[in-house]
Amino acid sequence: MINQQELWDADAAARYDTPGVGMFSPEVLGPTVEVLSQLAGSGPALEFAIGTGRVAIPLSEAGVQVTGIELSHAMIAGLRGKADERRIPVVQGDMIDASAGNNYSLVFLVFNTISNLLTQDEQVQCFRNAALHLAPGGRFVIELWVPQLRSLPPGHGGTVEVSQPGYLLVDTYDVLRQHVTSHHVQFGPELEAGRNARIDRTPHRYIWPAELDLMARLAGFELESRWADWDRSEFTADSRSHVSVYRLAGL
């Protein structure tokens, strides 16, 4: 059993933020915040797995009232270094059952984080918890990657997803359980003295879009929109990720 509190510890939280680059770059955050702000409208928004506030802080700056749920104490501490409780309230707990009230117009879960839940039952419960927080007609937005099983060579259980100076990302698959483990290998002179490389591993349960849609239906949602990215590009059979917008029945 994976202990997510230990996985997302103080060391992971300290290395999570990469201001201005990667997932913190303006070209990533700009479209993300724009779409979420439009979907929230004049109502409040709730972020599951708010982390250190990568999306919540700029969304709050855009005028949306944002609350968060976060399991990791270390991630919450990182957020608190940038925004206080009055500005962005956070409930410490698991996104499958923690409560932060109700009548939100938007709940969102970005950057593949639903895959941190390692069983189908937990992922379904995440949808149900989102439904409990939403006002009738509210939306639940999920950003998730598409499993790249077509790239698995016959007889091999892994793929190299990223290869660049100082960094390798290798994914290994357990197709029976729909589990994938991401191996993040960092190397080069920027590492602390005495280390030739650093390896971090994160486990996930991958979800096909059709399976995700069924989870949504079980919780009372209907698929409203699906794009390949936050720029609202068309989702196709070759898309490597998607942004899916689910609407709760009631309006």
CATH number at residue 92: 3.40.50.150
Which residues share a beta bridge with 134?
104
Closest residue by Cα to residue 116 from 56, 206, 244: 206
Q: Which domain holds residue 180?
A: 149-204
**193 shares its domain with 230:** no
133 and 180 share a domain? Answer: no
**32 shares its domain with 108:** yes
Instruction: Note whether 65 and 175 are same-domain residues.
Output: no
Claim to verify: residue 143 and residue 154 sit in the same structural domain: no
Residues 127 and 86 in one domain: yes
Residue 193: predicted pLDDT: 57
* Residue 35, pLDDT score: 98
End-to-end CA distance of the chain: 40
Per-residue CA distances from 103 to 31, 118, 132, 198 (Å)? 25, 28, 9, 44
Tell me: do 78 and 176 sit in the same domain.
no
Tokens read off for 85: 């409780």
**Could you tell me if 12 and 83 lie in one domain?**
yes
pTM (two decimals): 0.91
Distance between CA atoms of residues 201 and 181, nearest Å = 7
| 12, 52: one domain | yes
Closest CA to 206 of 177, 184, 228: 177
Q: Where are the alpha helices (DSSP H) in the chain?
A: 4-7, 10-16, 26-40, 56-61, 73-80, 120-133, 209-218
Q: What is the pLDDT of residue 3?
A: 58
187 and 81 share one domain: no
CA geometry: angle at 200 spanning 114 and 9, to 5°?
Answer: 65
CA distance 4 to 17: 18
Residues 132 and 154 in one domain: no
Q: CA-CA distance, 31 to 240, in Å (whole number)?
A: 18
pLDDT tens digit at each of 251 positions of the chain: 555 655 556 676 666 667 776 788 999 999 999 999 999 999 999 999 999 999 999 999 999 999 999 999 999 999 999 999 999 999 999 999 999 999 999 999 999 999 999 999 999 999 999 999 999 999 999 999 998 888 888 888 888 888 988 889 999 999 999 999 999 888 887 666 556 788 888 999 999 999 999 999 999 999 999 999 999 999 999 999 999 999 998 75
Q: Count structural domains, the chain.
A: 2
